[in-house]
Amino acid sequence: MKSLPKPTTPINALHADVRRLLKKYKCEYELHEVRALFMGAIASPMDQVNPMQELKSLWKGELPPFKNMAAVNELMQVFAMGLWNQLSAHCDPEHPFELTAFSGVNTDKELKYFAQVKRDEIECFIAGFFQGEDKITLPPEIGESLDVLEDLVGMFAGVVAIPKKSHESEVEILGLMNELQKVADIAQKEINIIIISSAEARRQGGTPSRALH
């Protein structure tokens, strides 16, 4: 049995630490979801965005129990000062945010996993952006991009739900994968439109950067 496809997005030491701590503290989120959730929060126009609250949200509103202050400091260093600030750099159009990239998608199972990750990333970005609000007054370009993303969530969800076809050839799977990659590229483009437009709106309104210091 083939394993699920491996991400080709470089996993640096920080990402490795994030994964390790998510596993250590039994978090239900995976790295790709946390990145998207934090990125959505950073892009959000809501004033109450707080890195600590976003961190707590990974454990349903409460931080996990710690053995000592060193463990607390490690979590803060990795997630708040580390990952949060790394993602804040994507508010610069010269450093666009990238969704998780994959290679070696050759089977029905791998294809559905790709679609599941994309759905997770878009849904988490939107959740972070809205901060629990049902409606937000937004510039037209951001609203349009959010509409596109919501449509794409449905498309990826549809792929995940497709019944397995035992006769489906590798050529057919590769063809569908190519089409899904195009959809993922559209999602990434729309997410970056939201990130950059929101950052520009904050600058014009005199709102400080989301980065921690």
Residues 75-120: tens digit of each pLDDT: 999 999 999 999 999 999 999 999 998 888 888 889 999 999 999 9
The rounded mean pLDDT for the chain is 89
Which tens digit of pLDDT belongs to each residue from 66-87?
Answer: 999 999 999 999 999 999 999 9
> What is the C-alpha separation between 15 and 94, in angstroms, rounded?
21
CATH of 13-204, one of 1.20.120.740, 3.40.50.2300, 3.40.50.300, 3.40.50.10310: 1.20.120.740
pLDDT cut 90: percent of the chain above it: 70
pLDDT of residue 4: 62
Which tens digit of pLDDT belongs to each residue from 124-142?
Answer: 999 999 998 888 889 899 9
Residues 158/53, Cβ–Cβ less than 8 Å: no
Res. 213: pLDDT tops 80: no
DSSP state, 93? T
Res. 47: pLDDT tops 90: no
Q: Is the sign of the CA dihedral 76, 78, 84, 86 positive or negative?
A: positive
Res. 148: pLDDT tops 50: yes
Cβ-count burial 19-31 (b if 16+ within 10 Å, e if not): eebbeeeebebbb
Domain ranges of the chain: 13-204
